[in-house]
Structure 1
Amino acid sequence: MEKVYIAGKITGDPEYRMKFGRAARALEMTGNVVLNPATLPNGLNQADYMHICFAMLDCADRAVFLPDWNESEGAMLEQAYCAKTGKPVAFLAGV
């Protein structure tokens, strides 16, 4: 069982919960434990979200990036962090 963090565009995407939910279900169907930032509550500030997301990312065995990840400042930071620390990544298409 692998712990997988999902990264992608949230800010400015009104459909982000649905998009992340589809990705989470697909990853769970292959036996993964999914760490999904789209399940966090509304009302926190951007810094709070990033602190929580980086904690989830640190706990994950791998990060999976949705197709729109490069439209998100936060996801681009997460990708750079993975590259710097050697965290394995995968890039999903068609989610």
Structure 2
Amino acid sequence: MKRIYLIGPMTGLPDLNFPAFATMTESLRAGGHTVISPAELNPDGGSWNDCMRRDIAALMECDTVATLPGWEHSKGARLEVLIAERLGMTVVNAHDLVRGVGDSNQV
């Protein structure tokens, strides 16, 4: 079982993209994974800096990062992927994990 940190765009999106995070979190958990979602870590939002501090601390507790569509357009998600890559963590497309494909180290 993987401990997965879910990454995706939030800032500027309707409802901070929480529905996409909730749907993917549910799908990954149904597959037996432990999932950490920034939408659950920061349910009331907050400043970008405060959220990123919580998110990066949670990221450090995971071994896999799963990306949602559009992550590459998000300043925070790009930072999280960079950290994960530099630390040698597995980075995969979240949809590939749901389909059972995600064992690559590439996004």
Q: TM-score, normalised by structure 1?
A: 0.91
Aligned CA RMSD, in angstroms, stands at 1.5
Taking the aligned partners of 2:45 and 2:72, their CA distance within structure 1 comes to: 24
Q: Name which of 57, 60, 63 aligns with 2:59.
A: 57
Q: How many residues align?
A: 94
- The alignment-based identity, stated in percent, is 31
More moved, 22-31 vs 37-46: 37-46
Tell me, which stretches of 5 or more residues in structure 1 are unaligned?
none
TM-aligned CA deviation for residue 13 of structure 1: 1.0
Q: Distance in 2 between matches of 1:12 and 1:44?
A: 13
Please give the alpha-carbon distance, in whole angstroms, between the structure 2 residues aligned to 1:6 and 1:92.
8
Equivalent in the alignment of 2:11: 11
2:102 matches 1:70: no
Q: Counterpart in 1 of 2:32?
A: 31
Pick 1 or 2: higher relative contact order, CA cutoff 8 A, min separation 6. 1
Distance 1:37 1:47 in 2: 13
